[in-house]
Amino acid sequence: MDQKLVSSWFHLHSSVPLSYVQPPESRPGMVEASSKRKIPVVDLGLHDRAETLKQILKASEEFGFFQVINHGVSKELMDETLDIFKEFHAMPAEEKIRESSRDPNGSCRLYTSREINDKDVVQFWRDTLRHICPPSGEFMEFLPQKPAKYHEVVAKYAQEMRTLGLKILELLCEGLGLDQNYCCGELSDSPLLLAHHYPPCPEPTLTLGAPKHRDPNLATILLQENDINALQVFKDGEWIVVEPIPYAFVVNIGLMLQIISNGRLVGAEHRVVTNSGIGRTTVAYFIRPTNKQIIEPAKPLLSSGARPIYGSITYEEFLRNFLSKGPEIEQELLLKPS
């Protein structure tokens, strides 16, 4: 495993290994990303709730992406969280593998490229530490014990992310005309934390840190480093750079909310590019349903006679299909006109 981690061998190569070279149509060097267009910024500190609702709903309908400021999470905790994951990814490979392999059932694990990388013809330039972080506090004993304070920092961060995530979901549900607690409970009770590390890449125009994709969840809250432009959103036929705002979070809508909203909200396509000068670490908090939860268009949105666009599926089945079929799952979920 240690030889597979990109962070173990990237510095030994002056070119990208063939297995990491993207096909020409996917390479970031083929299409210049736009830095003129910006994704929306939503101020969660506004006292005018109606205005906040309007902003967050508009951003989710038009872009499926936005950044939030005045979100209530302290700068100190954001710094500590990024630092702890940077420390983890900087540890020797054998130590990282040991610390992320405590649970034989895989609630915490370390992998390179993607979880399904054995099915990928082309690999992706990143290592990822993944673990579930349910609100019950289960599985905490399986988390890494190194670096020091890992448990303390990550537990606090997960708690803050849950609070922020529920606040965002409440706003979105209210904006859609649903009960603001519609997405609470089993629709959001199985969150996942992904700490990605993208080492410097000798030929960034040939490879990707993450391919063009939509997230298989309700929403993602991303903590990214300042001054490194790597995340891009696909809209209206072009890639838009998500330029980091200091101490803001990036929020993107996942396929689950697209289904629940009956297509009103956009599960936006996005990708991650690499750079040759500096490594990049991000922390993604996935708001996800429990496995047995049924995912379908919210019935209150259909009460006026609107036709459901999507069928019903358990999250477990959706995730299994998503991991095997990728983006094609979205088309399979669409109901055919009667």
Q: What pLDDT tens digit does each residue of the chain (338 aa) get?
A: 446 899 999 988 889 999 999 999 889 875 567 667 899 999 999 889 999 999 999 999 999 999 999 999 999 999 999 999 999 999 999 999 999 998 888 889 999 987 664 556 789 999 999 998 877 777 788 899 999 999 999 999 999 999 999 999 999 999 999 999 999 989 999 999 999 999 999 999 999 999 999 999 999 999 999 889 999 999 998 899 999 999 999 999 999 999 999 999 999 999 999 999 999 999 999 999 999 999 999 999 998 778 999 999 999 999 888 887 766 777 778 887 65
Cβ atoms of residues 277 and 302 within 8 Å? no
216 domain residue, yes or no: yes
267 domain residue, yes or no: yes
338 domain residue, yes or no: no
Find out whether the peptide bond into 147 is cis, omega within 30 degrees of 0.
yes
- The CATH number linked to 97 is 2.60.120.330
- Rounded to whole angstroms, the Cα distance separating 231 from 34 reads 12
**Assigned token pair, 193:** 């934390």
Number of domains in the chain: 1
1 domain residue, yes or no: no
- Residue 29: other Cβ atoms inside 10 A: 13
- Rounded to whole angstroms, the Cα distance separating 135 from 190 reads 8
314 domain residue, yes or no: yes
Q: Residue 160, CB half-sphere, CA atoms under 13 Å: how many?
A: 19
How many helical (H) and strand (E) elements, i.e. helices and strands, does the chain have? 8, 14
Q: Which domain holds residue 237?
A: 6-11+20-333
208 domain residue, yes or no: yes
299 domain residue, yes or no: yes
User: What length is written for the chain?
Assistant: 338
- Rounded to whole angstroms, the Cα distance separating 208 from 22 reads 7
